[in-house]
Amino acid sequence: MSTPAEAYEAMSGRLRSRPDVEEGTGFGSSPGLRIHRKIFVMLVRGELVVKLPAARCAELAAEGVGRAFENGKGRPMKEWLVLTASPADWSALADESLSFVGGVSPGRDR
Question: In the prediction, which pLDDT does 1 show?
Answer: 52
Each residue of 62-81: pLDDT tens digit? 999 999 999 777 889 999 99
Domain boundaries, the chain: 4-102
The dihedral sign for the CA sequence 102, 8, 89, 27: negative
Q: Are 70 and 10 in contact (CB under 8 A)?
A: no
In degrees, rounded to 5, the angle at the alpha carbon of residue 24 between the alpha carbons of residues 56 and 109 is 50
The yes or no reply on domain 4-102 and CATH 3.40.50.620 is no
Residue 91 CB burial class (10 angstroms; 0-12, 13-18, ≥19):
middle
CA atoms 14, 51, 7, 88: torsion sign: negative
Quick check: 81 and 71 in contact, CB under 8 A?
no
The answer to whether 33 and 7 are in contact (CB under 8 A) is no
Contact 68, 76 (CB under 8 A): yes
Give the tens place of pLDDT for each residue, 32-45.
999 999 999 999 99
